[in-house]
């Protein structure tokens, strides 16, 4: 601690009690734990009522993470903080941080800025955030958002994550249209993730986007909830947009609940796509519920026991194994803009295995015109 105190700029003095604890524990790689041991009092939702002694200034963290002398004193395990309220905007735009950052059960009243930043792993477990701006972020490790509560968009466009991207049981909400005419909650267009994406159990209000993403160890969002009730400028409500995504491994959306369109147009999946025991509904715009035009799946597609209200689309799809929709409901709920009554549209799709529709209900037209080979049902 004394080494860090000796090089501390005068403008950062005096330190808060929380900052003193950070300086004491940072060289040892230990947590600066500011929690009081009471579940309700430690809930970041109540951070506005926390004692001032739990406050850490953003400018203090910026200095500690970027000052050449200070970074050499911090332990290789990185900076670890529990139960702090971060005062001011934490802005690491363009910065290189040589070790990982862990913020557990912390509160960030202002969006965290990580534009073009480089770091090791980043953990925000169970923290409350006002948003993250992380376009072109590079992490040499994991990006962990498990259990967070975010009131604002999380952006990781063109980010590069060498480990996992995990947001298990996260709650993310953004119902406000941005300048591009959409209410985006989680924006990961063109992200590259080497360790897989895990969104199991998350609850997201607003659009989720993984357009053009490259994921090398699968994508899982079992029991997730994706809701988007804010129409874009074209009148469409898209809950999950993964058009042109490329995934090595499986995509698992079993037991999801989605209000709004789920899209995998032109996706490339080197594995299987499972959307079993799911509920997907879209009554707006084109009324597409599951959109998979021109998708390519090396394995099978499994939609068993799902309820899909709105058009399900697999035209010109390439499926390397079975397409199974046993005990599944496909239904047209609202005539779309082109007045087509399709419930399940597989026009000109190519299937190398069997097509199962046992005990399924199709309310509307089933179209398999031009399917290759001729598909027995």
Q: pLDDT for 266-304, tens place per residue?
A: 999 999 999 999 999 998 888 899 999 999 999 999 999
CA 290 to chain centre: 19
CB-based contacts of 121-128 (< 8 A; 24+ apart in sequence): 121/78, 121/163, 124/148, 126/44, 127/44, 127/103, 128/44, 128/45, 128/47
CB-based contacts of 136-145 (< 8 A; 24+ apart in sequence): 136/160, 137/161, 139/163, 141/100, 142/166, 142/195, 145/170
pLDDT of residue 99: 95
pLDDT of residue 234: 77
Secondary structure element (H or E) that encloses residue 342, with its range: strand 342-345
Cα 34 from Cα 40, distance rounded (Å): 14
- For 193-236, the pLDDT digits (tens) are 999 999 999 999 999 999 999 999 999 999 999 999 887 777 88
Instruction: For tokens 């989720």, name the residue.
Output: 208
User: Average of pLDDT values for 341-368?
Assistant: 89
pLDDT of residue 376: 52
pLDDT of residue 331: 93
pLDDT for 47 beyond 90: yes
- Residue 277, sorted as left (phi over 0), alpha (psi -120 to 50) or beta, turns out to be left
User: Average of pLDDT values for 355-364?
Assistant: 90
**pLDDT range class, residue 106, cuts 50, 70, 90:** very high
Cα 166 from Cα 127, distance rounded (Å): 14
Q: What is the mean pLDDT of the chain?
A: 93
pLDDT for 258 beyond 80: yes
Under 8 Å CB-to-CB from 182, ≥6 apart: which residues?
Answer: 207, 230, 232, 238
pLDDT of residue 373: 58
Lowest-pLDDT choice from 66-80, 124-138, 326-340: 326-340
Cα 241 from Cα 92, distance rounded (Å): 28
**pLDDT range class, residue 375, cuts 50, 70, 90:** low
- For 158-205, the pLDDT digits (tens) are 999 999 999 999 999 997 777 667 889 999 999 999 999 999 999 999
Percent of the chain exceeding pLDDT 70 equals: 95
Cα 325 from Cα 76, distance rounded (Å): 51
pLDDT of residue 320: 95
């Amino acid at each position: 601690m004394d080494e860090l105190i000796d090089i501390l700029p005068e403008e950062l003095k005096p330190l808060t009690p929380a900052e003193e604890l950070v300086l004491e524990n940072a060289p040892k790689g230990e947590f600066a734990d500011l929690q009081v041991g009471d579940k309700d009092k430690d809930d970041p939702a109540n951070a506005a009522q926390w004692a001032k002694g739990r406050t850490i200034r953003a400018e203090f963290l910026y200095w500690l993470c970027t000052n050449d002398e200070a970074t050499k004193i911090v332990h290789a395990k990185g900076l670890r903080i529990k139960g702090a309220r971060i005062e001011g905007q934490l802005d690491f735009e363009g910065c290189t941080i040589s070790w990982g950052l862990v913020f557990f059960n912390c509160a960030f009243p202002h969006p965290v800025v990580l534009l073009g930043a480089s770091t090791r792993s980043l953990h925000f477990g169970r923290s409350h955030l006002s948003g993250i701006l992380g376009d072109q972020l590079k992490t040499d490790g994991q990006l962990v958002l498990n259990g967070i509560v975010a009131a604002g968009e999380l952006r990781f466009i063109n980010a590069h994550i060498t480990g996992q991207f995990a947001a298990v049981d996260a709650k993310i909400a953004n119902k406000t249209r941005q300048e591009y005419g959409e209410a985006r909650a989680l924006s990961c267009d063109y992200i590259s993730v080497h360790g897989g994406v895990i969104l199991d159990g998350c609850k997201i209000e607003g659009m989720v986007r993984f357009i053009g993403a490259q994921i090398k160890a699968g994508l899982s969002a079992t029991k997730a909830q994706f809701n988007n009730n804010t129409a874009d400028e074209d009148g469409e409500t898209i809950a999950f947009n993964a058009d042109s995504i490329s995934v090595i491994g499986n995509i698992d959306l079993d037991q999801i609940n989605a209000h709004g369109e789920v899209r995998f147009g032109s996706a490339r999946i080197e594995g299987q796509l499972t959307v079993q025991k799911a509920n997907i509904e879209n009554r707006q715009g084109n009324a597409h519920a599951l959109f998979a035009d021109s998708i390519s799946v090396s394995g099978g597609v499994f939609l068993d026991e799902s309820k899909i209200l709105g058009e399900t689309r697999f035209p010109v799809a390439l499926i390397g194994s079975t397409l199974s929709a046993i005990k599944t409901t496909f239904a047209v709920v609202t005539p779309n803009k082109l007045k087509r009554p399709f419930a399940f549209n597989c026009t000109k799709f190519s299937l190398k295995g069997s097509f199962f529709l046992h005990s399924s209900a199709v309310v509307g037209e089933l179209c398999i015109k031009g399917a290759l080979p001729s598909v027995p049902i």
